[in-house]
Structure 1
Amino acid sequence: MKVNAFIQARMSSSRLPGKVLTNIVDKPMLQHIVERLRNAKMINEVVVLTSNEHSDDAISTFCDSHHIACFRGSLNDVLNRFYMASQIYPADHIVRITADCPLVDSELVDDIVAKHLAAKADFTSNCHPAMYPDGLDVEVMKASALHSAQSQADTAHQREHVTPFLFTHQEQFLCVNYDAPTELPLLRLTVDHPEDLTLIKKIYSVLYPLDTNFNLQKTLNLLAENPTWLDDNKQFSRNEATEV
């Protein structure tokens, strides 16, 4: 049973262009995400999925120089990008992570993949409905479900966001939600604005030197000790971005 993680990334973010290669404690954000996912025991291979637009050459070059698998496909038809990548990097199941999530938790990824496999689900996530802070979203799908979505999804929204066809067709797919063990504050821990990046850099500056794979609980503990840090980005709503 092979499980691959696909990280959806592009440079042309409308709110914070180039954010995926912005440095956080001396490493590009994308590199942190790759390294954190490589700590997940259930993941076999981590692949960055970017577009074939010239604007994303920098991502491809970065991946090549850091020995990170990279696939390039359609900028806007991200569902097709995932499908084509699954042909080059085949697996039984695919974990979708977006490149604006530098706090992705490898332990949480493992737990969600384990539940997905135990349930023999077609699609499993912790964000439909949201159960974790924004930036901790994890979606897992069977490769066969991804292939079905590729052949059937016919709206721009479904094709840009990859998974909506799956979780809106539960008569066709077995969809499972991963519930948080306790109620968690639905904080904004993603990067879509400069203010988000300010918060993430504060978190990394404290926790990363102590543990390069620090988990969500350590982040929540730190924020409980420093509640004013959350003022940095509290004006922004959840899931504002259309595509990372």
Structure 2
Amino acid sequence: MKTNVFIQARMSSSRLPGKVLETIVGKPMLLHIVERLKHATLVDKIVVLTSDEQSDDIIKDMCENHSIDCFRGSLNNVLERFFLASEDFPADNIVRITADCPLVDSQLVDEIIAKHINGNADFTSNCHPSMYPDGLDVEVLKLEALHKAQLKASTSHQKEHVTPYIFTHPEQFICINFNAPKLIPTYRLTVDHPEDLTLVRKIYGALYESNSNFNLELILKLLEQNPMWLESNTQYARNEALQRHLTRDLDI
């Protein structure tokens, strides 16, 4: 049973352009994500999926410089990008990670992959509904589910965000949610605004030197000790882009 991780990355973020290559303790954010995912024992290959726009040439260059597999495709039809990448990098299951999640937890990724495989699921995640802080989202989909979504998805929302067709059609797919073992604070640990980046840099600054693969438990303990760090980005909603596109599609 082969499992690949596809990291969705682009430079043209509307709220924080170029965020995926912003430096955190001296390394690009995207490189940190790749290095953290390398600790996931159930992952066979990690591939960065970026667009074929000129603005994303720099992502391709960074991947080449660090011997990271990279695939390029449509900027806006990310579902198609995933589908075509699955032909170049085939696997039974694909883990979708977005490049604004520099605190992704490799142990959590392994646990969700294991639940997906053991449950013979088409789609498994910890974010439908959300059970972990924003920025710890993990989605695992069976290759056949990806192919079916590529064939049937019709709205811009479904095509840009890859998995909505799957988790909104439970009658067609076996969908499992990975529940947190205990109540976890709904902190905002993704990077979509300058304030998010400031918080993540503080977390890395406190934890990275002693343990480069620090996990969610250590992050939560650190934030318990420094609650004032969390005050800067509480005004931002979870999954802003996804919700905006869903609303637009419903209006259409």
Instruction: State TM-score, norm by structure 1.
Output: 0.98
Residues 134-172 of structure 1, C-alpha deviations (whole Å, 9 max, x = no match): 000000000110001001111111001000000011101
Amino acid at match of 1:19: K
Q: Which residue of 2 aligns with 1:40?
A: 40
Q: Which residue of 2 aligns with 1:198?
A: 198
Worse-matched range after superposition: 130-139 or 227-236: 227-236
How well do the aligned residues superpose, as a CA RMSD in angstroms? 0.9
Amino acid at match of 2:82: F
Q: Which residue of 2 aligns with 1:223?
A: 223
* Contact preservation (8 Å) 1:126, 1:179: yes
Residues 202-232 of structure 1, C-alpha deviations (whole Å, 9 max, x = no match): 0000100010000001000000000000012
Matched, 1:160 2:160: yes
Q: Secondary structure at the match of 1:35?
A: helix
Q: Which residue of 2 aligns with 1:113?
A: 113
Cα distance in structure 2, aligned partners of 1:37 and 1:209 = 18
1:82-161 paired onto structure 2 within 5 Å: 82-161=82-161
Q: Secondary structure at the match of 1:67?
A: coil
Q: Which residue of 2 aligns with 1:12?
A: 12
- State how many pairs are aligned: 243
Q: Secondary structure at the match of 1:223?
A: helix
What is the deviation of 1:114? 0.3
1:42-81 paired onto structure 2 within 5 Å: 42-81=42-81
Q: Secondary structure at the match of 2:241?
A: coil
What is the deviation of 1:234? 1.2
Cα distance in structure 1, aligned partners of 2:153 and 2:31 = 31
* Contact preservation (8 Å) 1:135, 1:190: yes
Percent identity reads: 66
Q: Which residue of 2 aligns with 1:234?
A: 234
> Which ranges in structure 1 are unaligned for 5 or more consecutive residues?
none
What is the deviation of 1:235? 1.2
Cα distance in structure 2, aligned partners of 1:132 and 1:108 = 10
Matched, 1:176 2:183: no
Q: Secondary structure at the match of 1:36?
A: helix
Residues 98-146 of structure 1, C-alpha deviations (whole Å, 9 max, x = no match): 0000000000000000000000000000000000000000000001100
> Which ranges in structure 2 are unaligned for 5 or more consecutive residues?
245-252
Q: Secondary structure at the match of 2:240?
A: coil
Q: Which residue of 1 aligns with 2:3?
A: 3
Cα distance in structure 1, aligned partners of 2:207 and 2:87 = 38
Cα distance in structure 2, aligned partners of 1:207 and 1:221 = 11
Cα distance in structure 1, aligned partners of 2:202 and 2:127 = 25
Cα distance in structure 2, aligned partners of 1:15 and 1:145 = 31
Amino acid at match of 1:160: E
What is the deviation of 1:241? 3.2
* Contact preservation (8 Å) 1:192, 1:241: no
